[in-house]
Chains A and B, each alone.
Chain A
Amino acid sequence: MSSNWPDLFIKALLETLEMTAAAGAIAFLAGLPLGLVLVATASGGICEQRWLNRILGAIVNAFRAVPCIVLLVALIPLTRLIAGTSIGTEAAIVPLAIAATPYYARTAEVSLRGVDHGLIEAVKAMGGSRWTIMREALVPEALPGLLSGFTVTIVTIIGASAMAGAIGAGGLGDLAIRYGYQRFNTGIMIGIIIVLIALVSIVRFGGDCLARRFDHR
């Protein structure tokens, strides 16, 4: 019975890593621009568009309001459209990414908003375009915050991926529920908890190091 434990464990760990990495990457690539747009279009921003800002803000809030487990099942039709299937690890990536993107967009927005307005004005006074302002002032100045925000997002995705078992995506959370809880296997439960804690700690540590590396304030 215990001969295939290591295999199961590694498989679950890889599934969790796959879901987290893919959803995290998508959240970063989609969330950062979304955060930039939210900051730029806000009143007093570099290209003020109050209505666009309000609409985007409402969409972001709507997604943030829905619990991840609900999104996992509610988005099944969309998942099937994008991933071609509604079950399995790949299928879980779609709702996880969709849940994480608004989350990261808000985090990024907070960091970007914290950039001193004087710096934006300085680049503007040099004759910089909006794009230059974003590239040279907003993003580099907010980078430490953007990185630690991304760390938090990754940790959140790791947590949310535990629910992905609901649509057959596997992963460590699923292993813990099916084997640790339903089969009363305390050993595997403890093992999974330790692995999850280690995983989160590594992500945190890495993120903090990166953020510090880019913080020259």
Chain B
Amino acid sequence: MSCCMDWWDPETAAFAEKIPCSDCVRVEADFVLRRQSIPDGTIVRLGNVSKSFGRVKALDDITLDVQRGEILGIIGRSGAGKSTLIRCLNGLERPDRGRVEVLGQDIVPLPERRLQLVRQRIGMIFQHFNLLSARTVAENVTLPLKIADVPWQEREFRVQDLLSMVGMSGKASVYPSKLSDGEKQRVGIARALAADPALLLCDEPTSALDPETTLSILDLLRDINRRLGLTIVLITHEMNVLRTVADRVIVLKHGRIVEEGDVWRVFTAPEADVTHRLIGGHTSDLPSAIRTGLRNEWTRGTDLVLRLQLSGSAAGNPVLAQLTRDLDVLPVVLDASVQHVQDHALASFTVAFHDPGELLARRIGEYLASRVSRLEVLGYVQQLA
């Protein structure tokens, strides 16, 4: 026992460089397993993390914090470095440079055995579920408990609890091959939560699922986050996933953070180009006849096409009606949607004005610019039907 005190320094909350005896390892395991030992505030802190594979920079000077209890979404195209980033958080990938502090401890220099103890406190779910096919559902969920040396009498209760939490109580003795994809991910979640983790990593958890199942899995994650106060880091390439579940978003491009902020802010007012494209902004949702017919120059007989977005309280304003009344123009709605992101409304319209002429076009623009959150002139298109 005394030797443990020597190498565990509560002051700096760090392990001194000493090889622990078997007793120490047990005490350390106890320490990392005690739930109250999760510090308040920052669960994970990345400082200037870089990682290259050969000549490809997967992560380039990433600095970020993950706060306790939040759901942080990391989004980017494939190859943006999302996977590498999330795998750095549990030491599956060692960065070339920088610090990865998990629960106040830099895990980069840790030897494999200590890293294993840290990993026992971090749950992870995967795109392809990665359930052991030779083990039943219950055995899969038991495995992290076995690894964490939880006594077997306790394991059984815990597994039952976990399975009922994810709605899989009836399938305890079923083999994973008999489950649907959604059910597999539920088991994956139960397994990831088994050892009472301080952090849950989700590696594209819904990318292999159909839209309906995706929603149910995201609901489950949200529910777990709310009920257990569990911190979740989730990577995805689908903005919709983040819109449903995340509190905060980080947008990655070529291994760099290009945008960061609350999900409703990033969603309603994206700054980076990548974010725009990931959200599906610009002209992607216009009918192809209009999209391809758009011109930048006004010519006689062409229609002006605008996109306007109203976010937050502005979404409740009858802007188009006011415009009709005040300027006596008749906007044609080409596309419209109202979405809610974390109780923030986002209304988006694409409208066309029939042959407004240069002067009226400018007045419409000025009128709207002061009343909407975001105005975009998409261009002019030859006579809409």
Contacts and interface: CB of A to CB of B under 8 A. Distances in A.
Contacts of A132: 147
Nearest to B176: A216
B117 A214 contact: no
A136 B124 CA distance: 17
A129 B113 contact: yes
Interface string A121-162: 111111111001000110011010000000000000000000
- Which among A124, A127, A136 has the greatest number of chain B C-beta atoms within 10 A? A127
Interface in A164-217: 214, 216-217
Given A129-B113, A141-B133, A217-B133, A122 B126 contact: yes
Contacts of B144: 126-127
A119 interface: yes
Nearest to A140: B134
B134 A127 contact: no
- How many chain B residues sit at the interface, stated as a range, is 20 to 34
B143 interface: yes
**Which of B121, B134, B144, B175 has the most A CB atoms < 10 Å from its CB?**
B134
Contact of A119 (B117, B130, B175): B130
Contacts of A125: 90, 92, 119, 122, 124, 201
A122 B117 CA distance: 15
A136 B120 contact: no
B148 A127 contact: yes
Main secondary structure of the interface of A (DSSP, over half): helix
B179 to A, nearest CB: 11
B148 A214 contact: no
Contacts of B252: none
Nearest to A214: B134
A126 B117 contact: no
Interface string B213-255: 0000000000000000000000000000000000000000000
B257 interface: no
A141 B134 contact: yes
Nearest to A139: B134
B126 A118 contact: yes
B116 A127 contact: yes
Contacts of B92: 121, 124-125
B195 A126 contact: yes
A128 B117 CA distance: 9
Interface in B143-166: 143-144, 146-148
B143 A126 contact: yes
B147 A140 contact: no
Contacts of A119: 130-133
Contacts of A127: 116-121, 144, 147-148, 195
Contact of B130 (A122, A140, A217): A122
Contact of A116 (B120, B130, B177): B130
A124 B132 CA distance: 13
A143 B134 contact: yes
A40 to B, nearest CB: 14
B143 A123 contact: yes
Interface of B: 90, 92, 113, 116-122, 124, 126, 128, 130-135, 143-144, 146-148, 175-177, 191, 195, 201
Given A118-B130, A126-B144, A127-B118, 14 more contacts: A119-B130, A124-B92, A124-B119, A125-B119, A125-B122, A125-B124, A126-B143, A127-B117, A127-B120, A127-B121, A128-B143, A136-B146, A140-B135, A217-B133
16 contacts: A119-B132, A121-B126, A123-B132, A125-B90, A126-B144, A127-B116, A127-B148, A128-B116, A128-B147, A136-B132, A137-B132, A140-B135, A141-B132, A214-B134, A216-B133, A217-B133
Lowest 6 A-B CB distances belong to which pairs?
A127-B120, A127-B119, A122-B130, A140-B134, A216-B175, A118-B130
